[in-house]
């Protein structure tokens, strides 16, 4: 499944906003708490999502660090449904807070996370917008 995820592609104009699936898969391999989920529609792989439990200097929370939907399947609600399912899964694992981020200009991510109740809590060093969902 991981190899197949590395073959998924974004629209060219979106590639600057999301790290590659290969990078996310590498991070998943090295983060012992990381959870990887393949996203399917009608038994066809269409995307991936990854998160992990962060327990460090910035506190204890779940970090949703990768969401990617294949270019041909975007705009059909698959990303929203995948994030909703992962929020529920994290809640069942004991999450009281979930954090994520998106790059400035990524309007699709901005709208998705806002719709799901994430709130901006700052800007990270590289300029990425830092978000939190605390009403889980």
pLDDT for residue 57 is more than 80: no
Residue 12 CB coordination number (10 Å): 8
Interval 26-47: pLDDT, tens: 666 676 678 889 899 999 989 8
Q: Which two tokens stand for residue 54?
A: 């962060």
Tell me how far apart the alpha carbons of residues 26 and 14 are, in angstroms, rounded to a whole number.
Answer: 21
Q: Span 19-27, mean pLDDT?
A: 62
Interval 4-13: pLDDT, tens: 655 656 567 6
**Residues of 28-45 as b/e, b for ≥16 C-beta within 10 angstroms?**
beebeebbbbebeeeeeb
Q: N- to C-terminal Cα distance for the chain?
A: 29
Average pLDDT, the chain: 84
Is 2-133 in CATH node 3.40.50.300?
no
Q: pLDDT band for position 23 (50/70/90)?
A: low
pLDDT in the model for residue 78: 96
């Amino acid at each position: 499944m991981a190899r197949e995820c590395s073959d998924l592609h974004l629209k060219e104009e979106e590639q600057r906003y999301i790290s590659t699936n290969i990078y996310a898969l590498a991070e998943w391999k090295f983060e012992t708490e990381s959870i990887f989920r393949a996203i399917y529609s009608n038994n066809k792989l269409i995307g991936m999502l990854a998160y992990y439990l962060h327990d460090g200097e910035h506190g204890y929370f779940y970090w949703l660090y990768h969401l990617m939907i294949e270019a041909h399947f975007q705009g059909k609600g698959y990303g929203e449904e995948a994030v909703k399912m992962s929020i529920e899964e994290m809640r069942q694992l004991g999450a009281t807070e979930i954090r994520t981020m998106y790059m400035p200009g990524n309007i699709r991510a901005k709208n998705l996370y806002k719709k799901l109740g994430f709130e901006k809590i700052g800007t990270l060093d590289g300029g990425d917008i830092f978000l939190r969902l605390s009403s889980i």
